[in-house]
Amino acid sequence: MSGRSGPPLGFAEALDLPLSVDLRTAARAFGICPGTAYKLIRLGAFPCPVLRLGGRYRIPTAYLLRTLGIEERPVYAVPLEDDHAPADQPHDTHPRASEEPS
């Protein structure tokens, strides 16, 4: 197995990963080819914990993200510019008693 398995994983794509990922996806996240990932596992030097389930490797996403320096998920998954922020809307639409005509 040589060559990369696709472009490196982007930040938004990393935050959408399931609870665990296959070795190819983890290799993409680290920007290495799958062959290098297998070699690192054999040497016991893969950068995060790896689970062996039957004949397959699975990497828990929480460990993967932590190793990449992503400690917390952002609160908003979409940019705030696309949403109408509450500050853009008037807080009080009812006239005050002093503002009512007599």
Domains along the chain with CATH numbers:
1-71 (1.10.10)
Tokens 């002093």 belong to residue: 98
In the chain, pLDDT over 70 holds for what percent of residues? 66
Distance in angstroms (rounded) separating the CA atoms of residues 11 and 24: 17
At residue 17, does pLDDT exceed 70? Answer: yes
Distance in angstroms (rounded) separating the CA atoms of residues 20 and 79: 26
The pTM score is: 0.64
User: pLDDT value at position 71?
Assistant: 79
Q: Considering Cα of 74, then 78, then 79, then 82, what sign does the dihedral take?
A: negative
On the CB side of 62, CA atoms within 13 Å amount to 2
User: pLDDT value at position 2?
Assistant: 45
User: pLDDT value at position 8?
Assistant: 82
